[in-house]
Amino acid sequence: MRRPQPLPVTDGQESVWDYPRPPRLETTTARLEVVLDGRVIARTTHGWRVLETSHPPTYYLPADAFDPDVVVAADDSSWCEWKGAASWFDLVAGDTVANRAAWTYRQPAPGFEAIAGAMAVMPGRVERCLVDGEIVRPQPGEFYGGWVTDSVVGPFKGDPGTLGW
């Protein structure tokens, strides 16, 4: 398969084609927010980003950033070749249930220990996610949890025809 052509970047932007593989974990002080049923259910300025070639950043928020009544364990798990076994959660606010909208790595693989117990959110399964007040666009494809903002350019894995990247 032919390597995709990275889109040009402007000042203040990052290309996902400059992100590493295997992925890198870094801290962020960006204001991260998750909204469900018209209410901010999670907020922090002490998060993490996982950066992986061809993917927009996946943001992780500390578990205590979430309102305690919104996180409900889902009977589901998955596996990441880089981070290990993930446990999934539904997010509930008012009458709104966002099924399998969040996940965590309770015992992540070496290099990702800092996010043990932190939670990532699928932006397409909640009302909205924000980074420093900017509304996030979900990474294309139902499988991926990247947060697309104006500061990151692709093309992104998840679009049609990108399975082999």
**For the whole model, what pTM was predicted?**
0.96
What are the b/e assignments for 115-132, b being 16+ CB within 10 Å?
beebbbbbbbbbbebbbe
pLDDT of residue 143: 80
CATH class of 14-153: mainly beta
Domain edges within the chain: 14-153
pLDDT of residue 39: 97
Pairing of strands 84-93, 71-80: antiparallel
pLDDT of residue 159: 84
User: Positive or negative CA dihedral for 111, 117, 122, 128?
Assistant: negative
Output the CA–CA distances (angstroms, integers) from residue 64 to 24, 54, 60, 78, 157, in the order listed: 23, 30, 12, 23, 30
Residue 17 CB: number of other CB atoms within 10 A?
16
pLDDT of residue 1: 57
Within the chain, which residues score under 70 in pLDDT?
1-2
